[in-house]
Amino acid sequence: MRSNEKDFFSEFQQQLKKLRPWSFLMLFLFVAFLIFSILIFTFELDPIYLQILGGSILIIFIPLLFIYIKYSRCPNCKKFMGRDVGNFCPICGVKIRSTE
C-alpha cells in the first residue's frame, strides 16, 4: 500500500522538532501535578486546592493536546497518525522515518 515512494523523513523530523518543547512542558506539568497532589493529600489540605489544581491543569493540557494532534500528522496526506508511528505512514504508506 505504498502509494508514493517520496521520502518525507526531513519534513517529519521538522514536525517532531516543533513538538519536542511542548512534550517536555507536558511532562513537567504532569510531574508537578503529581507532586502537588501528593502534598495536598499528605498535609490534609482543603480539597478545594485539589479542584483548583485539577482545573488549572485541564486548562493547560487541552491546548497541548491540540498542539500534539497538529504536529503528529503525516507530511503527505496530512492525517493524524496516532501515537504508534513506525517508519511508514499507516494511512497513505509513505516513508516518514529512515529505516537505517
pLDDT in tens, the chain (100 residues): 444 456 788 888 888 888 889 888 888 888 888 888 888 888 887 878 778 888 888 888 888 888 888 888 888 898 888 777 788 888 888 888 776 6
Rounded CA gap, 48 and 32, in Å? 17
**48 assigned to some structural domain:** yes
**Cβ(72)–Cβ(19) below 8 Å:** yes
pLDDT, residue 72, reads 84
Q: Residue 63 domain-assigned? A: yes
Backbone angles phi, psi at 95, to 5 degrees: -75, 125
The C-alpha atoms of residue 19 and residue 67 are separated, in whole angstroms, by: 8
Say what the pLDDT of residue 3 is. 47
The answer to whether residue 83 is domain-embedded is no
Residue 57 lies in domain: 20-71
Structurally, the chain folds into a number of domains equal to: 1
pTM of the entire predicted model: 0.64
Residue 47 is assigned to a structural domain of this protein: yes
Alpha helices in the chain (DSSP H): 9-42, 47-71
Note the pLDDT of residue 61: 83
The confidence score (pLDDT) of residue 1 equals: 44
Determine the pLDDT at residue 5: 56
Residue 3 lies in a domain: no
